[in-house]
Amino acid sequence: MNLTRCNKAAAKRGSQQAFTLMDAIFAVLISGMMFTAMYAGLAFGFKTIKMARENTRATQIMLEHMEICRLYKWQDLTNTTSFLNTNPFTVYYYSVGGTNTSLQYTARVSLASCPITASYAGEMRKLSVRLDWGALGNTNRTRIMSTYVARNGLQNYVW
């Protein structure tokens, strides 16, 4: 008889236990913070990937124009009316699977005298490609790639 009374009391206590309103509110707050943190992490990851794609495309454009300029003869390279006529020029970024041209790179190729003091400095020029574009919330970004070219450099081997 004693045993059945204990079982009934235990069953009665078990059916009366539940979560309180405070427990439910606390669980909802914790879940909300977790989902917010997950969303922020995903947004940051996508933003980082977008920035990496833009930087990679900028490097490709600059390298492409560096290689084009490497193929010029010295006379054509130092004649500013030949290849610097097209400055500045625009290259568009086409996103993966899309045809939008919302991101455009503005490039400028420049040739300057060599900043060294050696005796052969007159036979060298500094070639720079500058790229500007607006991205990630209208933040203007710039990349510059420079190299030196010489009168008796690679151009004489190609031609």
Helix (H, G, I), strand (E, B) or coil at 109: strand
DSSP code at position 19: -
Sequence-distant (6+) residues with CB within 8 A of 14 are none
Q: 9-67 pLDDT, tens per residue?
A: 666 665 566 778 899 999 999 999 999 999 999 999 988 988 888 889 899 999 988 88
Q: Please give the Cα distance from 126 to 112 (Å, whole number).
A: 5
Question: Which span out of 108-112, 133-137, 143-147 was modeled with the highest average pLDDT?
Answer: 143-147
72 token code pair? 């010029």
Which residue's entry shows tokens 């190609």?
A: 158
Bigger pLDDT: 5 vs 114: 114
Count other C-beta atoms under 10 Å from residue 149's C-beta: 21
Strand order in the sheet with 139-150: 89-93, 103-113, 124-135, 139-150
Q: How confident is the model at residue 6 (pLDDT cuts 50, 70, 90)?
A: low
What pLDDT sits at residue 27?
93
> Average pLDDT in the 68-91 region?
74
Token duo for residue 39: 């969303």
On whether the CB atoms of residues 84 and 108 are closer than 8 A, the answer is: no
Query: How many whole angstroms separate alpha carbon 26 and alpha carbon 72?
Result: 70
Question: What pLDDT is recorded for position 159?
Answer: 47
pLDDT in tens, 98-120: 555 568 888 888 888 888 888 88
Neighbours of 64 (CB within 10 A): 13
Mean pLDDT of 130-151: 83
Q: What φ, ψ does residue 78 adopt, rounded to 5°?
A: -85, -10
